[in-house]
Amino acid sequence: MEDNAVKRAAEIIAGGKLVIALTGAGISVESGIPAFRGAQGLWEKYDPMEVAHIESFRRNPQKVWQMLSELYQIVLNAKPNPAHVALARLEQMGKLTAIITQNVDALHQKAGSKRVIEFHGSGESLTCLKCGKDYSIDDVDLKQIPPTCSCGGILKPDIVFFGEPIPPYALEESFALAQKADVVIVAGTSAQVYPAAQIPYTAKQRGARIVEVNLEPTPLTGSVTDVFCQGKAGQILPAIVEEVERLIQT
């Protein structure tokens, strides 16, 4: 972790009037949740078109639920890590307006963040594909594959599968914020999945500064990123937030 980059990132955030964060799977890896892409990614183990496309779900829900059941066992036992906690602290300090997350694990909310836009939906709730009844994950028997509604219909998590649209509210709210933000913190995302990956570019076109925290460079790094902090989000974000706190108190 480069101290210089952390200090520059903190200065940009401390000086920002409307700061937003865009987070991806990488921010939850330190909570024990596997990323989707990369060497240890979920898509190395499963073909996303077979287990994460809405048509695959409709065609063979049992097969898709075998993957989902495995993922739920991990996600439901996961705890927020220092990266989630740092962003929640930044919001409490009045320096972070909203988090736009591609994650469906609710760890930002569990860490204390209040304004979280779930761009790809949430795994905390499910809907019956037959009658439309809503369920909380706490009320679903995940040992039954696939889990079913009282009407006999199959339950689908309220997450956005490939082939499904982004929830309209999340899309509109995210891009409205991107057009107004003067700082965007990008953390733990490969910036390869659109339309979420467009958010930093939209903000940059409006003059925003981009602070990127990632293990490896991304398509953003050489194009729109102003400060690149390379390393684990769980180490870098707390260091940045500590420095922001120091700057706004002096």
Architecture of domain 1-33+80-120+166-250: 3-Layer(aba) Sandwich (3.40)
Name 160's Cβ contacts closer than 8 Å, sequence gap at least 6.
119, 120, 121, 166, 167
pTM, two decimal places? 0.92
Q: What is the pLDDT of residues 129-188, one digit of tens each?
A: 999 999 999 999 999 999 999 999 999 999 999 999 999 999 999 999 999 999 999 999
What's the confidence (pLDDT) of residue 120? 95
Q: State the Cα–Cα distance between residues 190 and 38, nearest whole angstrom.
A: 9
Architecture of domain 34-77+124-159: 2-Layer Sandwich (3.30)
What's the confidence (pLDDT) of residue 138? 93
**Angle, CA 14 vertex, CA 188 and CA 238 arms, to 5°:** 40
Give me the mean pLDDT over the 12-18 stretch: 97
Q: State the Cα–Cα distance between residues 110 and 220, nearest whole angstrom.
A: 28
Give me the mean pLDDT over the 4-17 stretch: 96
Q: State the Cα–Cα distance between residues 102 and 119, nearest whole angstrom.
A: 5
Tokens representing 246 are: 């120091």
Domain ranges of the chain: 1-33+80-120+166-250, 34-77+124-159
Q: State the Cα–Cα distance between residues 181 and 38, nearest whole angstrom.
A: 30
Contact between residue 22 and residue 115 where contact means Cβ atoms under 8 Å apart:
no
Indicate which residues carry an active-site annotation: 120
